[in-house]
Amino acid sequence: MNDHSLETKSKIMDAARVLFAIQGFEGTSIREIASQAEVNVASVNYHFTNKENLFGEILRSGYLECSKAMRNYFDTESPELEDLLVFMFNYFSVKSHDLLTYFKMMMSSQHSHHMTAAGTEDEMLGPPGGKVIADCIQKDLKKVLSPGELAWAVRTLFSHVTHTSILYQCCFQQNNIPFTTLTDLESGVRRLGRLVLNDLRLD
């Protein structure tokens, strides 16, 4: 695929991501996406074949971007869980607008299952970066946990970190709310990491 073709594909995905988030899957047409991206309908069909494939590729690209960032940090730094969670918090804070867009897309359609339709093991354990969180937990505990324990831990940590990072960007920085400074929130993320590890040690 040449540079022009890649640029066209990227324009289509950028336009579609915004429209899907605002109007949902069913409420957005290929014609609207083409118009917003300033390309013809044939270009959209050429790159994605249909609207469902386009929707799925947008979600998957965001999922993979997050997974790769977390995997690279883990492989390079070999962090303890607390440090990984702080990295996640800061990564999601910077990406909070994109994160909200993906969440809106996922809630708008049954087609969001395409996000994890295929891929490596890193991409298949629940949320993006879920396998990295699981690897870090087991490294810190020095034991292998059951799939159920890992799933609970990963979802608990991911949910809190994403929620907190979005609130930090959308609300906390603009309002004088007690205990919502960057230092406060990073400390809270670290504390949750310790609490989860302590709970898993008791099992």
Higher local confidence (pLDDT), 108 or 127: 127
**Looking at residue 150, what is its pLDDT?**
92
Is a pLDDT exceeding 90 seen at residue 114?
no
* Residue 8: C-alpha distances to residues 5, 11, 37, 56, 61 (Å): 5, 5, 8, 17, 16
Write down the pLDDT at residue 86: 98
Name the burial class of residue 203, with classes exposed (0-12), middle (13-18) and buried (19+) by CB atoms within 10 angstroms of its CB. exposed
Per cent of the chain over pLDDT 70 is 89
Which ranges in the chain are annotated with CATH 1.10.10.60? 1-49
Please, are residues 129 and 63 in contact by the beta-carbon 8 Å criterion?
no
Average pLDDT over residues 116-144: 78
**pLDDT of res. 98:** 84
Q: CATH 1.10.357 spans which residues of the chain?
A: 60-202
> Residue 3: its pLDDT value, please?
53
More confident residue, 109 or 114: 109
In DSSP notation, the chain reads --HHHHHHHHHHHHHHHHHHHHHTTTT--HHHHHHHHTS-HHHHHHHHSSHHHHHHHHHHHHHHHHHHHHHHHHHHH---HHHHHHHHHHHHHHTHHHHHHHHHHHHH-GGGGGGGSS--GGGTSSSTTHHHHHHHHHHHHTSPPPHHHHHHHHHHHHHHHHHHHHHHHHTGGGS--TT-SHHHHHHHHHHHHHHHHHHHHH-
- Mean pLDDT, rounded, for 192-201: 97
Domain 60-202 has CATH 1.10.357: yes
pLDDT at 116: 47
Instruction: Report pLDDT for 108.
Output: 73
d(CA 8, CA 36): 12
First to last CA, the chain: 51
37-89 pLDDT per residue, tens? 999 999 999 999 999 999 989 988 888 889 999 999 999 999 999 999 999 99
* pLDDT higher than threshold 60 for residue 152: yes
> Is residue 13 pLDDT above 90, yes or no?
yes
Per-residue pLDDT at 8 exceeds 50: yes
Q: Does domain 1-49 have CATH number 3.40.1380.20?
A: no
